[in-house]
Every structure is written in C-alpha cells, then in structure tokens.
Amino acid sequence: MIHMPAGEFVMGEGDDAHSVYVDACYVAEHPVTNSAYQRFVEATERTPPRHWSRGQWQPVLGDHPVVNVSWHDAVAYCRWLTGVTGQVHRLLTEAEWEKAARGPEGHTYPWGSDFDDARCNCWEAGIGRTTRVDAFPSGSSPYGVMDMCGNVWEWCSTLYAAYPYCAGDGREDLEAAGWRVLRGGSWYDAEWGARAARRLSSDPGQASHNTGFRVGREP
C-alpha cells in the first residue's frame, strides 16, 4: 500500500476540470490479482469468476489482475479484507483514483503528458490480454502506483454522476442504486480510453473480461 497525502488536485479535463480536495489514504500499488482473489473465494465460498476452470485460475495467471468480477464482488472483497486485517479496506473513490493516477501535477497519463505504449498494456501495445501487475514499472504514477493506465478497468466506489465531483452529494453511498464508475482503461482499449481523467460506468452487477479492481485503505 502506498500513502497518498491529503491535498487538492485538478480533476477532469477540458470544460470539466475542477479542483477537488482529497483526504490522505493508502492506495494499493497494484490491482487485486487472481491469487489474492482466490484466497477470498476460498474463505467466503463466493462464486469465482466465470472463466476460472473448476473454480481456480490458471497458475500462470496468478500475478495477473482478476477479471470477471462485479462491483458487488469488489465491495465484498474489501469487507472481507477489512475483517482479516483489522484495518478498513475499501474501493477508492473516483477522486482518489484519479489523484493517484495523475499526481498533483495533473498528468494526462500516469507518467506524463505524452502517450507511450511501452509504459502500459493498451491496444497499441498489441498484447491482447492481461499482463502481470508489475509488468510496466516505467508507467507508474507520481506516487508509484502501477497499472493506472491499461491492463484492466477498475471499479471505484462512486456512482456515475455529473461533475463537479462532490463526495457529500450521495454519489459515495454504497447502498444507492445506479451505475458505478470505472477507471483506467484496459488491454482492449486504445490510448484515448486510458487517459487518467477518462470515465466509464457500468451496471454494478455486471462482470467483464477486462474489468477488475484495486483497493484503498484508511490511514
């Protein structure tokens, strides 16, 4: 887990750009992997991702990000991890995720302003599948967080709603109905879909072959 200090940053881009204050928190250096998610499945008897064979991932994919998990699965994982560790783990808010990806300077991509397919697993890299979560260290964000561009889309806690972002307007209510935010792009997306400010949303009950998640932790 990487400490991200409190402070303001510019969220969004173009006409949507606005300043948002984010409290300090910890951000997982990598998305949740298949091997980590299997421990959760075994401990809770939760239904495993549908592509796992006989309820288990292929051994060669242990350090790849887990996919085919819904938002509800991701929230359940965080609650389980909280119980196991005694520390509060949760999904990142949309604002926390973007700050972790862009840094205080507001980079277009985690590493800077110019796209570079040698720094991430996006369509232009031509890999065509997930990669290890530590495969692109040169693509890490200013805080040292990896895979914020490409590999898998990542669920955030946040309901998809219009900007400006305001954590207190109900969009961070985990019990509210509505589609939830996805961030980061995936191996299947071109660079325009993997910008640090790019937003997507999905039904929280849906699971996709290119969607996973990352955890945060309270200070």
* pLDDT tens profile 177-209: 999 999 999 999 999 889 999 999 999 999 999
In this prediction, residue 57 carries a pLDDT of 83
Instruction: Pick 56 or 150 by higher pLDDT.
Output: 150
pTM > 0.95: yes
For residue 20, list its beta bridge partners.
Answer: 9
Q: Is residue 21 over pLDDT 90?
A: yes
In this prediction, residue 163 carries a pLDDT of 97
* Edge-to-edge strand list for the sheet holding 2-4: 2-4, 25-27, 215-217, 89-91
Q: Is residue 217 over pLDDT 90?
A: yes
CA quadruple 3, 137, 142, 184: dihedral, nearest 10? -90
Q: What pLDDT digit, counting tens, does each position of 44-100 carry?
A: 999 999 999 888 888 889 999 999 999 999 999 999 999 999 999 999 999 999 999
Instruction: Pick 3 or 105 by higher pLDDT.
Output: 3
In this prediction, residue 130 carries a pLDDT of 97
For 46, 80, 148, 189, the CA distances from 42, given in Å and listed in that order, are: 7, 12, 28, 32
In this prediction, residue 58 carries a pLDDT of 83
Q: Which among 178, 14, 13 has a CA at the least distance from the CA of 98?
A: 13
Rounded distance, CA 6 to CA 23, Å?
A: 4
Q: What pLDDT digit, counting tens, does each position of 85-138 carry?
A: 999 999 999 999 999 999 988 999 999 999 999 999 999 999 999 999 999 999
In this prediction, residue 190 carries a pLDDT of 94
Output phi, psi for 10, to 5 deg: -90, 115
In this prediction, residue 35 carries a pLDDT of 96
